[in-house]
Amino acid sequence: MNQYFNDHEIIDHEIREQSLLAELPSLVSFAQHECSHYERILRDVDAKKITSRQALASLPITRKSDLINLQKQTPLFGGLQANNANIHRIFQSPGPIYDPENTKHDWWRVGQAFHAAGFRKGDIVQNCLSYHLTPGGFILDSGARACGCSVIPAGPGQTEQQLDIIEDVKPQGYCGTPSFLKILLDKARDNNRNISSISKALVTGEALPTQLRAQFSEQGIKVLQAYASADIGLIGYETIADDGFIISENIIVEIVRPGTGEPVSDGEIGEVVVTSFNQDYPLIRFATGDLSAIKEGTSACGRTNMRIKGWLGRADQTTKVKGMFVHPSQLEKLRLTFPNIAKVRLSVNQINLNDQMHLQCELTENKDTPPVEQTIERIQKSLKDITKLNGTVEILPLGKLPNDGKVIDDLRPAP
């Protein structure tokens, strides 16, 4: 059994680095001619001179948080897609942000993450990320199939039906969020259901607390993580638990000081910035909004690429809840829906390792305001409509919320 997904994972790090840097001039030139966004922001750049990380760091950042406005100005993908792109699916992520997909083999490059997590040809995988509008389900689906696995496109929810499928089909693996795997395991325990066929899992979309990983291990499930995004595909993946994320072989990752494009020193926390050589959707210095840091040394697994320490927070107030991004702009949209809401603040916490949202709203006094219970019900519905997530709502008098500029307050413990 091959320990590695491909031989490129174990080549000398310097050879890989020089190979990627040698591709930069053609990538920049391609983007300048094929993508209206890069034609505009890289207009004065001499592509032939972009041959080092230092030269790359001189180029402007494109931020994920900017995509909402860029896509409004230049539908559908903000001018980041190539003119000759082969786009087979169009997704809508929260924001809304529209994401393209080419359905060719392992386009998202997630196969190596499944392989590192122990998935092999012939395995059956229950995929519990959503296939509805957002790309998460398809990202994992393509990676599992790249390993030769058969995929059950289960999506989230319908836990009774999911348990029926596991008992009937006996999949060896699970992929999805760690919190939904816990829901399935708890439901199976409470209802005396046998889902012991699952012995491995690749999880993504949210943090994996050490305590929760230990619970999975106690139940005979080896769990590793993948770090991917709807824009880039795979960014990094675990090969050994809590040993950092090995960067995907064919992208360049920089860690930069938040709010700037300046790379930080190795080990210093900064924002993850990715350059992807995807010919359909090339991304040059794409700032993810995620915080991480370079992890020193190489992995004991034998893979030679650089590692990062994993997800260490957000560079902005955008956060992930149950695998879905929630943006400050969405909460502003909600606030403007109700003329008597002066201020909002969304708190995100965990109860029994499950993400919970709580929205506090300051209301102005108005004789036409409906009863509090009716107002809360309307705000809860609006929160669900806009973010696609459930949350509780609390009404506060004016001046009660702190004047600290926070719209989203992530109170979850560090993983």
Per-residue pLDDT of the chain (415 residues; tens, 9 = 90+): 589 999 999 999 999 999 999 999 999 999 999 999 999 999 999 999 999 999 999 999 999 989 999 999 999 999 999 999 999 999 999 889 999 999 999 999 999 999 999 999 999 999 999 999 999 999 999 999 999 999 999 999 999 999 999 999 999 999 999 999 999 999 999 999 999 999 999 999 998 999 999 999 999 999 999 999 999 999 999 999 999 999 999 999 999 988 788 899 899 999 999 999 999 999 999 999 999 999 999 999 999 999 999 888 888 788 889 989 898 889 989 999 998 998 999 999 999 889 999 999 999 876 666 788 899 999 999 999 999 999 999 999 988 998 776 789 999 987 6
Q: Are the beta carbons of 361 and 344 closer than 8 angstroms?
A: yes
User: SS3 sequence, 323-377?
Assistant: CEEECHHHHHHHHHHCCCEEEEEEEEEEECCEEEEEEEEEECCCCCCCCHHHHHH
| Six-digit token string for 363 | 């209301």
CATH 3.40.50.12780 fits 7-316, yes or no: yes
CA-closest candidate to residue 82, choices 277, 262, 356, 366: 277
| Six-digit token string for 280 | 């359909």
| Six-digit token string for 115 | 């392989």
How high is the pLDDT of residue 81? 98
Q: For the chain, how far is it from start to end, CA to CA, in angstroms?
A: 33
248's torsion region: left (phi>0), alpha (psi -120 to 50) or beta? beta
Q: Are the beta carbons of 169 and 124 closer than 8 angstroms?
A: yes
pTM of the model: 0.83
Distance from C-alpha of 208 to C-alpha of 379, rounded to nearest angstrom? 30
- Which residues sit opposite 136 in a β-bridge? none
How high is the pLDDT of residue 413? 85
How high is the pLDDT of residue 200? 98
How high is the pLDDT of residue 312? 86
Angle at which helix 178-190 crosses helix 210-218, to 10 degrees, equals 40
CA-closest candidate to residue 161, choices 130, 134, 128, 196: 128
Distance from C-alpha of 117 to C-alpha of 225, rounded to nearest angstrom? 8
Distance from C-alpha of 122 to C-alpha of 402, rounded to nearest angstrom? 55
| Six-digit token string for 270 | 């900064």
CATH 3.30.300.30 fits 324-410, yes or no: yes
Strands (DSSP E) along 173-282, which ranges?
173-176, 200-203, 222-229, 233-237, 245-247, 251-256, 270-276
How high is the pLDDT of residue 367? 65
Distance from C-alpha of 209 to C-alpha of 116, rounded to nearest angstrom? 20
- Which residues sit opposite 275 in a β-bridge? 252
Domain definitions of the chain by residue range: 7-316, 324-410
User: Which element (helix H / strand E) includes 150?
Assistant: strand 150-153
Distance from C-alpha of 147 to C-alpha of 40, rounded to nearest angstrom? 39
CA-closest candidate to residue 250, choices 235, 238, 239, 261: 235
How high is the pLDDT of residue 368? 67
* Integer CA distances (angstroms), 15 to 182, 251, 253, in order: 41, 14, 16
DSSP 273: E
Number of C-beta neighbours around residue 189 at 10 A: 11
How high is the pLDDT of residue 313? 80
DSSP 265: P
Which residue matches tokens 């050994």? 240
Let me know how long the chain is.
415
Phi, psi of 201 (to 5 degrees): -150, 145
**Alpha-carbon dihedral angle through residues 208, 209, 212, 214, given to the nearest 10 degrees:** 100
